[in-house]
Structure 1
Amino acid sequence: MTARNSLQDLDGLPYWLMDGLGNDFVIVDLRHGGRLTSEAAACLGDRSGPFGCDQIITLSDHGGDVQMGIWNADGSEVGACGNATRCVGWLLAREQGTDATTIGSPAGPLHARLVGAQRVSVDMGVPKLRWQQIPLAEQMDDTRFIDIKLGPIDRPVLWGPSAVNMGNPHCVFFVEDAEAQALDRFGPLIENHPLFPERTNVSVAQVLNRTTIRLRTWERGVGMTKACGTAACAGLVSAVRRRLTDRTATVRLDGGDLEIEWREADEHVIMTGDVRLSGQGVFGD
């Protein structure tokens, strides 16, 4: 099927091109009709095609509320994307003439708030930490350290990552030097590890101090990404659980910084960072 045929159902629909720290999206407005197929999502995500992005986001009407759908570049649907939520929050807040908005998502309602002209804060909810919630294929009572090793069994290069679900599953390895890790090589192996029945996002995290983490991520269904918001949240949560950082920290990603707080009062994770609108149009024009 040609790219044109894959996208023909979208003709006449508005779209926006946005990114959060380089984590880029095509946002498709389905609130007045239309549909997005997995083939069309994969076509929009293909960087050799007419668009190209990390994720494709749909906006649908759900009883008068806006529901966000999330598709990876390979055409698979997922439950959460923090940077996309910030982008959609920025769009809807401007559209509604308000500083705060609520967005429906597969992971439940998400609350976004403008904190600057191009800066958005999102409440990502409470992290899921039990093995059944992540989910893992085997019972592990302490998901701060799960039984995965890379390298020779008696001298593993990496071992004992943390696991957490931030609307999607994450596996976080703590390392001495995040830049030195061949994440593009072992990321696909861990993404498809039998321990993760729904596959997983894979990150390497280097704790620089109590309030700063350097994080790189291999994103499930996408590959290497400049910034993954849920991974930044998972990195901070995992670091706090291991008593490596405070509950508020700057997470340094390839595309820039996110401020993450795991709020003690209610256990909600708050993510704050910049967004950018790089283009908009109508499909078929």
Structure 2
Amino acid sequence: MDTLMLIPASLIVFALGASIGSFINVVVYRVPAGLSVLFPPSRCPHCLNQLKSYDNVPVLGWLWLKGRCRFCKNNIAMRYPVVEFITGLLFLVIFGIFQFSPLTMGYWVFCSWLLALSLIDLDTMTLPNPLTKSGLVLGLIFQTILGFINSNNSNSWTNAANSLFLAVLGAVVGIWLFDAIAFVASIVFQKQAMGGGDAKLAAMMGAWLGWKHLLLASFLACVAGVVVGGGAMLLTQKSRKARQWGKKMPFGPFLALGSLITIFIGEALISSYLELFPK
């Protein structure tokens, strides 16, 4: 891409991502509470006053208000601008890798779903069905469209059908794999070791990534979970809260992290692994 076009395009992409991040904040707050994500418009959770349009500008609005509500002066959590900023960066990285392509649009959607689900899992230890199911359906649609676009005119519908079949296969592998892990773990530990939402999230990941990349993402998630959870549990007695979190940490954010790594460098990791076993 021409350098003169890259800078304004990057600014637009970051602004778009930050705006989506603002909506993700709404989803994270309202979906677990059973509230509509569209109505009423954004408002202060303390005094319930509707936010002014200029106060609702992603990242900048929080800075203008100095982290306080214009009306009741209660603190506005720093997580709001942080989520907006991170979403903007994610959009920018995806755009930098995949440029103007269907993959860019698709992965923007996928990563938005992953971020929303991760934050909800951190807050409530749940992965809401409306998000995992809608994410699964969008993954199937995405792979079907991708198969249609990436084929020649003579067999476009056949290729689309094949892509849909592989997406369904990935979803089935995801839910079967994690259901099996949960079943075995419940026998070993004599208690529920994994929530049903993790299997549904894995099914969603399988639809978007395919079964091969799903396995890689799941492996990376397990490695990250062991490192973070084990580190938290090894803290001193003074950090009892952190050790308790290590025992009851949600797995959804690690699955999301594994998916992100797979999107960005999955092919390179698989190629490096295969090079260890030359024919």
Same fold (TM over 0.5): no
TM-score (norm 1): 0.27
TM-score (norm 2): 0.27
Q: Which has more radius of gyration?
A: 2
Return the structure number with greater relative CO, CA threshold 8 A, min gap 6: 1
